[in-house]
Amino acid sequence: MCGVAYEPAYIGVLQQQGNVTVVHAECPRCQSAAILAIMAGMLGMVTTMGMLTDMTRDDVERFKTAETITTDDVLALHTALD
């Protein structure tokens, strides 16, 4: 975001499956973060898709193992707040 190159110490692999690697990168200067999916394609081409986030690497790891929120959970919260 701020134009500073990301340093390897602030980039962590979250998941790797086949030709896709998902990483979390954080800027030590401006504290912005992104989750990136890096896909190695045929003929050596690489495609990257990114999403800015306010989550830390620990947040992402915690949500990966969290229970799935169901429709019933959402309806129960809505009822409780009503």
Nearest to 23 by CA among 33, 5, 69: 33
**CA–CA gap between residue 71 and residue 48 (Å, rounded):** 32
**CA–CA gap between residue 15 and residue 23 (Å, rounded):** 7
Q: Give the pLDDT score at 1.
A: 67
Please check whether residue 24 is in contact with residue 49, taking contact to mean a CB–CB distance below 8 angstroms. no
Q: Give the pLDDT score at 7.
A: 82
Domain ranges for the chain, please list them. Answer: 8-81
pLDDT (tens digit per residue) in 7-66 = 889 999 999 999 999 999 998 888 889 999 999 988 889 999 999 999 999 999 898 889
Q: In DSSP terms, which residues pair with 21 in a beta bridge?
A: 16, 38
